[in-house]
Structure 1
């Protein structure tokens, strides 16, 4: 299965001047964990994730004053629509992140999350049995 088959083609895009509170409200309302940040001044594509917002709040920053621009990840790893889900999952593991922006050329056409990949693998019968020999205390 390919990234184009699993990605969400409805992408929340915000500008760099959005406050973290506004971004969080939009993400929460759509039940998503990331927004693509498009900066028309730099023609750059970045990503703002729930982790970015959590880190800002955890360090005491004000979500009504902090902007997406100050917290956006700009060294984004992009996926192509023709990537396999294995390639996307490998990129996520290597980079330590849970979302990939999907580009077709220079155009953002989607976003794919770990959850999207897992959902496809489970539906496709690619689940692996996990066995544990230790009990988890209650």
Structure 2
């Protein structure tokens, strides 16, 4: 799947000169947690979220002054905190280092961005850099929930075993030469050794994913059990 398959479009946005008050009302009215900030040409210049509104002077939640923090962080950091809690315009609190993607970006790359960059949403821009959609973590979860199971014909026992061994040989984590599998009436019995609990679990998952498998009996042993 690609970004275009799950992205939300059109996108609710704000401008740099929108007020913090209007931003808060927009988030509440649309039940969203963040919005991209765009310029007059529709290009993304930032993103602002509810997290940017947590420590505000209007609610008395701004961070208290700390001499210790001043010594550690310096005056520049304190000035930045003051801006975050007192600014009236979106441009002063928005994040400007925005991760973006193209509509044809594979969904796996966006999932990697979420994980590696610790972000929750990615604006989608076209070749001209104009905002055309947005993908959030929730959109990927929705794609998983709406995916229909593949309609696959159950395989006979010999083919189940062959498919399992072939699949394991393709995986770098698998030590397929240390295990054996027998299949009887769709029931897979796994024998041999696994070098870790995760490998053991992954082997079971691989077996359970094969059409025609009705049960998996795990007899695998941890190789470390024999180290004294």
RMSD: 2.4
* Greater length-normalized contact order (CA 8 Å, ≥ 6 residues apart): 1
Which residue pairs with 2:108 in the alignment? 86
Confirm or deny: 8 A CA contact 2:3 2:135 kept in the other structure.
yes
- Unpaired runs of 5+ residues, structure 1, are 130-138
Shift of residue 59, structure 1, vs aligned partner: 2.5
Tell me the distance in 1 between the aligned counterparts of 2:115 and 2:148: 21
Matches within 5 A, 1:1-138: 1-40=1-40, 45-56=45-56, 58-59=61-62, 61-62=85-86, 66-105=88-127, 106-124=129-147
Q: TM (normalized to structure 2)?
A: 0.49
Where do 4+ consecutive residues of structure 1 move more than 3 Å? Answer: 55-58
The DSSP-based 3-state class of the residue aligned with 2:140 is: helix
Q: Which protein has the bigger helix share?
A: 2
Change (3 A) 1:122 1:44: closer
The DSSP-based 3-state class of the residue aligned with 1:45 is: strand
- Unpaired runs of 5+ residues, structure 2, are 64-84, 150-204, 206-228
Q: Who wins on radius of gyration, i.e. which is larger?
A: 2
